[in-house]
Structure 1
Amino acid sequence: MAGPGLEFENEIADLEEQIASLERNTDRSEEIDSAIRSLRLARVAKLKETYSSLDPWQTVQVARHKNRPYTRDYLNLAFDEFVELHGDKHFGDDRAMLSGFAKLDRFKVMVIGHQKGRTYKERAACHFGCAHPEGYRKAMVKMKMAEKYRLPVICFIDTPGAYPGIGAEERGQAQVIAESMFMMSDLKTPVICVVIGEGGSGGALGIGVGDRVAVLQHAYYSVISPEGCAGILWKSHEHAPKAAAALRFTSDHLLRLGVVDDVLEEPLGGAHRDHHQMATRMKTYLSRQLSELEEMPVDQMLEQRYEKFRKLGVFLEEN
């Protein structure tokens, strides 16, 4: 499931190739089996060593891995009876924003999430996960529908940012993101948001206001992409690793700064190595949070949601 390795995974890839080569050997012996066991142990040890000390730029590379599970993968593995809903009732249907009814254990929910696409053709159709204004309008329409029928809303965030084209700006990109955030702040139904890969800028915030906000261990959540930050500060994308370190957007930073409530641990070597295990962990987390939120009175839930976001960015000044 992992697919092509990342540059910092070269030693892991070498071990995996040696294991695969020995396993293809039709003339297996006890000596070969012993060698395979030793290589597997070495692979696990190397994965633990590598993924326990990722720097911010390496985290970005993992978050963007082409085989990382996307919204549709979680829908297929963790949810049942997904019925997709299309269109924003104004302009069109944005394939970068997925929405629809689904079941999670005993809960009937509305799922909304960014979708990047797996093949190049799918990625191009989904604008590489960058939603247009019609995508956020679609999300708002479906959230209001969920509120009407008292369905919890689950949002999967995975975008480098909202679509930056002229057409999107002409159709009110910034305004619609602001409207979506405002509407979510007062949505009278539980909202859970999870950053599953990239959480870039207003494109992420547009569906990121919730009672619970979580991030996967090797995802990132930032005001801007590392390349965008490097382009502004150093006038070159070559400084993206430096920008990544300065932005403090990895899961440990986000939890320590109070930007997210929870960090979901990924399988060893990243979620792209084991979709099923990651989906199981996601399902367990969402079920637990929904069970807690369903017991909470609506007024209390809205008050806590408001206070949660009001506290972000609090700082002290000394005379």
Structure 2
Amino acid sequence: MHILEFEKPIAELEGKIEELRHLADGGDVNIADEVGRLQAKVDKLMRATYGKLTPWQKTQVARHPDRPHALDYIGALFEDFTPLAGDRCFGEDKAIIGGLGRFRGHSVMVLGQEKGRDTESRLKHNFGMAKPEGYRKARRLMEMADHFQVPVITLVDTAGAYPGVDAEERGQAEAIARSIETCLDVRVPLVSVVIGEGGSGGAIALAAANSILMLEHSIYSVISPEGCASILWRSGENAQDAAEALKLTAQDLLKLGIIDEVVPEPLGGAHRNPDLTMRTLATAIDGALTAMGGVEGGVLRARRREKFLDMGRAGLG
């Protein structure tokens, strides 16, 4: 497992536990008491460390290479998932995975931004940074969900929309704006979950939802800390200062009224216990969908629009 800088004291204790277990393999040495003592220290240190993470440290956890990605959640939470490809205009964008599936027995449309796990898959999915055809595909699938009256669930995990020349030539800004417009226009329940990194317009294109959930150690901001630092301080070395100023943590955003719920992660982050993370998130999504059950489509749309208008009014105030 990849070890973050602030996790090194924890990793050292966990390494000692593994050494003891290795020495005891095949022998008569009883190490249970010592392992138990060290494990208690690990748990205590883990709670102390993760109970006071800085915004920059949370950014590192949100980007952890072992953290579950959209395809992991889709595989664990949705049955009979059938991927749907293409924007019917230019081509297929693998940075956004979309399709129909069943969530706890009910048909849903699922959209997720996939970063990839290794070099090959990261290149395949363009590190989760979609081009215009990705957002146009998202729009097409949301409109399909609206036509067939099935809820939409989106899984947000991107550093931002792809900033390349080819994306700009094909209308990146317009594609993102149209995707946001579609989010605000559909008459079905729309639940969005920030599972890792929610960056800029690339994230909000899938997150203008009735209910916005964030995993405990995920982040959501208008720009990355590094990007903010390069603009304000002309140096990426001030990324930690930028992370503090951006109020990008789930806890800050809940206080500001930008999101609706913080979904707890296992001690040490989602990457340490993905199965528990999946179960907890499934319960949260189910709760959000249940709260919207039976609500007429026009009311759902009006509430969603008013939610974001209220954010704008609060900002002006």
Both structures adopt the same fold (TM-score exceeding 0.5): yes
**Aligned equivalents of 1:81 and 1:165: distance in 2?**
35
**Aligned equivalents of 1:92 and 1:108: distance in 2?**
26
**Aligned equivalents of 1:308 and 1:28: distance in 2?**
63
What is residue 141 of structure 2 aligned with on the other side? Answer: 142
What whole-Å deviation, never above 9, does each CA across 1:145-188 have from its counterpart, x for those lacking one? 11111110000000000000000000000111011111110101
Asked if residue 271 in structure 1 is aligned to residue 270 in structure 2, the reply is: yes
**Aligned equivalents of 1:98 and 1:312: distance in 2?**
29
Paired letter, 1:259: I
Deviation of 1:78 (Å) = 1.6
What is residue 102 of structure 1 aligned with on the other side? Answer: 101
Asked if residue 201 in structure 1 is aligned to residue 200 in structure 2, the reply is: yes
**Aligned equivalents of 1:288 and 1:316: distance in 2?**
29
Paired letter, 2:147: K
Deviation of 1:101 (Å) = 0.8
Paired letter, 2:267: L
TM-score scaled by structure 2? 0.97
What is residue 21 of structure 1 aligned with on the other side? Answer: 19
What is residue 232 of structure 1 aligned with on the other side? Answer: 231
What is residue 303 of structure 1 aligned with on the other side? Answer: 302
1:203 to 1:317, Cα distance in 2 relative to 1, 3 A: closer
Asked if residue 294 in structure 1 is aligned to residue 288 in structure 2, the reply is: no
**Aligned equivalents of 1:248 and 1:155: distance in 2?**
22
Name structure 2 gaps, 5 residues minimum: none
Name structure 1 gaps, 5 residues minimum: none
Map 1:61-140 onto structure 2 (within 5 A): 61-140=60-139
Paired letter, 1:40: Q
Identity rate of aligned residues, in percent? 43
1:109 to 1:21, Cα distance in 2 relative to 1, 3 A: same
What is residue 259 of structure 2 aligned with on the other side? Answer: 260
What is residue 163 of structure 1 aligned with on the other side? Answer: 162
What is residue 9 of structure 2 aligned with on the other side? Answer: 11
What is residue 43 of structure 2 aligned with on the other side? Answer: 44
Map 1:202-221 onto structure 2 (within 5 A): 202-221=201-220
Deviation of 1:317 (Å) = 8.2
Paired letter, 1:102: G
What whole-Å deviation, never above 9, does each CA across 1:178-217 have from its counterpart, x for those lacking one? 1111111010111000100000000001111111011111
Deviation of 1:124 (Å) = 1.2
1:258 to 1:112, Cα distance in 2 relative to 1, 3 A: same
Deviation of 1:10 (Å) = 0.4
Deviation of 1:306 (Å) = 1.1
What is residue 248 of structure 1 aligned with on the other side? Answer: 247
Paired letter, 1:4: H
Moved beyond 2 Å, runs of 4+: 27-31, 313-318
1:317 to 1:211, Cα distance in 2 relative to 1, 3 A: closer
Paired letter, 2:167: A
Equivalenced residues, count = 316
**Aligned equivalents of 1:297 and 1:23: distance in 2?**
59
**Aligned equivalents of 1:4 and 1:238: distance in 2?**
23
What whole-Å deviation, never above 9, does each CA across 1:10-51 have from its counterpart, x for those lacking one? 011011111111122225556411111111111111111010
Paired letter, 1:69: P
**Aligned equivalents of 2:70 and 2:165: distance in 1?**
27
- Superposed CA RMSD in Å reads 1.4
**Aligned equivalents of 1:105 and 1:273: distance in 2?**
25
What is residue 280 of structure 2 aligned with on the other side? Answer: 281
TM-score scaled by structure 1? 0.96
**Aligned equivalents of 1:316 and 1:276: distance in 2?**
38
